[in-house]
Amino acid sequence: DIQMTQSPSSLSASVGDRVTITCRASQGISNYLAWYQQKPGKVPHLLIYAASTLQSGVPSRFSGSGSGTDFTLTISSLQPEDVATYYCQKYNSAPLTFGPGTKVDIK
Amino acid sequence: EVQLVESGGGLVQPGGSLKLSCAASGFTFSDSAMHWVRQASGKGLEWVGRIRSKANSYATIYAASVNGRFTISRDDSKNTAYLQMNSLKTEDTAVYYCTRRGGDGYNPALAFDIWGQGTMVTVSS
């Protein structure tokens, strides 16, 4: 099975900072990569699919890039409401594995 | 309103069974691939399995950790998906979410766009 890794596992940044999270697949998955945001105590929420397509209603400060095995999620200007854990997920074929998550908070 | 509502969670002893339901509304359920995802307390997300639509032969597939113990089914006349869990283990304790993949009309490029609020399953003696 393809393994998904994320880095860093956690980060602390200031409001307005540019934040980048990396996700890596152990084998190529084309662009079948999604990013989810899960705020504390809440349900996961789709941010980006197909590696770089912003889900409807998601603020434009979120962006995704990558293809194959290496992907990034960028928050161009971190806001207080972005405090959450972010998960990547491969969905090209089963098992639809999630990465271990990156916890983002405000410095 | 587009939504998924899970029910059926609770406390069960190791070796026991439980059946979760996921009621859908606000979209064409019969066209949708439905997945189950779980999350143990303080842990990450774990994909459990999925069932495809009638057009795709109601095909199911499961994570290795639940294969042979869990069964996903659906009743399109009731707009409901189910997760039958047998031979439960303490490590199955988690919040269980149902989620839709593919959006309206099933676009395989689209990931899990709708999530239920989750239902808690506790396996303990």
> How high is the pLDDT of residue B106?
79
Query: Above 90 in pLDDT, residue B63?
Result: yes
Q: What is the pLDDT of residues B10-21, one digit of tens each?
A: 999 999 999 999
Calculate the average pLDDT of chain B.
96
Interchain pair A101, B44: CB under 8 A: yes
Interchain pair B50, A96: CB under 8 A: yes
HEC string for chain B: CCEEEEECCEEECCCCCEEEEEEEECCCHHHCEEEEEEECCCCCEEEEEEECCHHHCCCEEECCCCCCCEEEEEECCCCEEEEEECCCCHHHCEEEEEEEECCCCCCCCCCEEEECCCEEEEECC
Q: Which residues of B touch A29 (CB under 8 A)?
A: none
pLDDT class of B105 with cuts at 50, 70, 90: confident
Q: What is the pLDDT of residues B19-49, one digit of tens each?
A: 999 999 999 999 999 999 999 999 999 999 9
Stretch 29-58 of chain A: residues touching chain B, C-beta under 8 Å: 32, 34, 36, 38, 43-46, 49-50, 53, 55
Q: Which residues of B touch A32 (CB under 8 A)?
A: 109
pLDDT class of B1 with cuts at 50, 70, 90: very high
Interchain pair A43, B50: CB under 8 A: no
Q: What is the mean pLDDT of residues B67-91?
A: 98
Q: Which residues of A touch B50 (CB under 8 A)?
A: 94, 96
Query: Above 80 in pLDDT, residue A101?
Result: yes
> How high is the pLDDT of residue B102?
86
Whether chain A has a CB inside 8 Å of the CB on B102: the answer is: no
Q: What is the pLDDT of residues A50-67, one digit of tens each?
A: 999 999 999 999 999 999
From the list B49, B40, B58, the residue with the least C-alpha distance to B85 is B49
Q: What is the least distance, in Å, from the CA of B54 to any CA of chain A?
A: 19
Interchain pair B44, A98: CB under 8 A: yes
From the list B80, B110, B95, the residue with the least C-alpha distance to A36 is B110
